[in-house]
Amino acid sequence: MPTSSSPLSAAPRPSSGVAVWLAVTCVVWAFVTFLSSGNLDGYHDMLENYAWSQPLLMGTHKHPPFFAWVVGLWFEVFPQTDWAYRLLSYANVAVGLWGVWSLGRRLGLQQLSAWGAMLLLWSFPYTTLAAKFNANSQLLSLWPWAAALLLASWQEKGLRGWWFSIWLGLVAAACMLSKYYSGVFLAGFLLPIFLNAEGRRWLLSFKPYLALLVFGLALAPHLLWVAHHDWATLGYAMDQGGGSTEWGYVLRFAFAPVFYWLPAWLAVCGCYAALSTDRAQQGLWRTWWRLLGRSWLPQGRDDVLFWLACMPWLLTLGFGITGVVELSTPWSIPIGYAFALLWLRNLHALYPDVSSRVVARLRRAWPATIAGVVVLGAVWTVSNAQKAGEGYYRPTEQAAKALLQAWQQRHPGEHLDWVGGDWAHNAMLSFYAQPHLRTVPDMPDSYPATLAGIGAWQTRNGLLLCPLGPQAEQVHDNACTQQARTWLQAHGWSDSAHVLTIARSGWRFPKPMAFSYAVFDVPASQPAAQ
């Protein structure tokens, strides 16, 4: 494996036109997904992230906390708006692509490394799927840097090697603190380390053990939190395993690399096929078909790039086939960080004289790519507006502000301290209307709420929020309202609901659709009966 003498932090510094195109593409995707999406996401993952970031905790009842920390720190700087959240999603992508660029330079790919990053912007995980910032998409920025720092640690000598080892431990810990699935990714480091002579020499130094020490120290606060909270996040992770092999999920995950990265894969293989010397003899389609297979092959038993690129996918498949876990297709979102580097390296080895022309062709295609994304965004926006889907027309921001205003009118001069009810839809009040309002899962005395550190909720004013959906002119019983009424009655409070109905309007919402929300007041004074 080639050794780079340049420091990792300096090697990929964004100083070329490629870096400008990368940044512009990420900003355009942020704008397009904001414009074409009426709300953040259908499952309220992004609102859930924000709820967990208020305040910063060492753990949650579902996931480790790093991505919530990122959200909390981001909104210390940016306004709490949908466009700022989309910008975070694609800033995360840009950081990850910079890491891919760095990894390529560490692998000695030089000029191809930039396009190993750029081509990922022709894949779904780094474009459409990246719009929803959550535990899976957080790994888009962390996994490439962990791999690049691994190589930096074993390539660099002296104090620089120690410094990169410290950073390797910290970034590896951030991976685990984002999603425990990162354990599969980190385990995938072992094979390239043991198979490569440079990796084996690294194991005989103190650097890997320094990285391991830093990794353990960085994880310790979270592990202590988990140990003192009934191992909640580990229990949630273990529940993902069904004990049997779900072949449908296994097959979907097996083909995820093809489906999720298909546009980029077809494009780079097509460029090499069109410019190769084999085209005249074999024809374009036969050459292209051959290159589709050759682009994935290892170059020897100790091929570091091949193992870094493929081990997360292979290990995850192994766990799914053996029934250790029930595979989820979104887990495949971060696994392809090195796929484009692998394709470019392999095709360059076949046709070294063609690579400069391939890069020139890709560079010329990029303005058209930006224009295509803008056109796609316009079509996407019009289509969503005309289909009048509930997810697009749901007036989350408008309802949050109206609900808070109505509460203040009912309780002039008083302060609302917490909101419970429908998790994580209820976080809309905190995100859009009252920053730092404590959002609790379920009821304030439920097990998940106690893990959130809500404290003495009885002495503070609260609200239970239950979305009723579209065209609900009166309170209909659903699971949320039934639970709220039962809980309020058990505690001696009134179970009467206040209902607000609101619809969005404007050029993006030409087909108004009314949505209703039920809220139940929980006064600060605890009933005497208790």
**175 contacts 185 by C-beta, under 8 angstroms:** yes
DSSP symbols for 454-476: ---GGGS-EEEEEEEEET--S--
Q: What is the pLDDT of residue 26?
A: 97
Residue 495 lies in a domain: yes
Q: Which of 230-244, 303-317, 359-373 has the lowest mean pLDDT?
A: 230-244
Domain count, the chain: 2
Residue 456 pLDDT level (bands cut at 50, 70, 90): confident
Last-in-domain residue among 380, 406, 424: 380
Residue 448 lies in a domain: yes
**64 contacts 180 by C-beta, under 8 angstroms:** yes
Residue 11 lies in a domain: no
Residue 334 lies in a domain: yes
Q: What is the pLDDT of residue 118?
A: 95
Q: What is the pLDDT of residue 62?
A: 85
Q: Are residues 25 and 156 in the same domain?
A: yes
| Long-range residue pairs from 271-276, CB within 8 A, at least 24 positions apart, any chain | 271/358, 271/361, 271/362, 272/347, 272/350, 272/351, 272/354, 272/358, 275/351, 275/354, 275/357, 275/358, 275/361, 276/350, 276/351, 276/354
Residue 8 lies in a domain: no
Q: What is the pLDDT of residue 13?
A: 42
Contacts of 341 (CB under 8 A, 6+ apart): 100, 103, 104, 107, 109, 112, 113, 116, 305, 309
Percent with pLDDT over 70 in the chain:
93
Q: Are residues 244 and 275 in the same domain?
A: yes
Q: Are residues 402 and 356 in the same domain?
A: no
Average pLDDT, the chain: 90
pLDDT tens-digit series, residues 14-35:
446 888 999 999 999 999 999 9
Dihedrals φ, ψ of 521, to 5°? -75, 140
Contacts of 361 (CB under 8 A, 6+ apart): 271, 275
Rounded to an integer, what distance in angstroms lies between the CA atom of residue 174 and that of residue 179? 9
Per-residue pLDDT for 475 more than 60?
Answer: no
Q: Are residues 370 and 426 in the same domain?
A: no
**Distance of CA 477 to CAs 395, 406, 467, 499, 522, Å?**
21, 22, 11, 13, 19
Q: Are residues 354 and 468 in the same domain?
A: no
Q: What is the pLDDT of residue 191?
A: 96
Residue 233 pLDDT level (bands cut at 50, 70, 90): confident
Q: What is the pLDDT of residue 328?
A: 87
**Which of 313, 185, 307 is CA-nearest to residue 260?**
313
Q: Which of 363-377, 383-397, 449-463 has the lowest mean pLDDT?
A: 449-463
Q: What is the pLDDT of residue 307?
A: 97
Q: What is the pLDDT of residue 3?
A: 43
Per-residue pLDDT for 462 more than 80?
Answer: yes
Per-residue pLDDT for 369 more than 70?
Answer: yes
The full length of the chain comes to 530
Q: Are residues 123 and 46 in the same domain?
A: yes
Average pLDDT over residues 293-322: 94
Residue 180 lies in a domain: yes
Last-in-domain residue among 380, 404, 426: 380
**Which of 508, 512, 529 is CA-nearest to residue 34?**
508
**133 contacts 89 by C-beta, under 8 angstroms:** yes
Residue 6 lies in a domain: no
Average pLDDT over residues 213-223: 96
Average pLDDT over residues 277-305: 90
Range of the domain at 167: 17-380
Q: What is the pLDDT of residue 451?
A: 84
Residue 2 lies in a domain: no
Q: Are residues 417 and 357 in the same domain?
A: no
Per-residue pLDDT for 98 more than 90?
Answer: yes
Last-in-domain residue among 353, 380, 407: 380
Q: Which of 238-252, 283-297, 372-386, 415-429 has the lowest mean pLDDT?
A: 238-252
**Which of 70, 72, 75, 73 is CA-nearest to residue 96?**
70
Residue 528 pLDDT level (bands cut at 50, 70, 90): very low
Per-residue pLDDT for 444 more than 80?
Answer: yes
Q: Are residues 397 and 370 in the same domain?
A: no
- Of the chain, the end-to-end C-alpha distance in Å amounts to 70
At 197, the amino acid letter reads A
Residue 242 pLDDT level (bands cut at 50, 70, 90): low
Q: Are residues 279 and 368 in the same domain?
A: yes
Per-residue pLDDT for 419 more than 50?
Answer: yes
Per-residue pLDDT for 239 more than 80?
Answer: no
Q: Are residues 175 and 271 in the same domain?
A: yes
Contacts of 79 (CB under 8 A, 6+ apart): none
Q: Are residues 344 and 485 in the same domain?
A: no
Q: Which residue has the higher pLDDT, 98 or 9?
A: 98
484, two tokens: 């709220």
Q: Which of 395-409, 449-463, 472-486 has the lowest mean pLDDT?
A: 472-486
Q: Answer whether 0.85 is exceeded by the pTM.
A: yes
Q: Are residues 405 and 327 in the same domain?
A: no
Rounded to an integer, what distance in angstroms lies between the CA atom of residue 307 and that of residue 194? 11
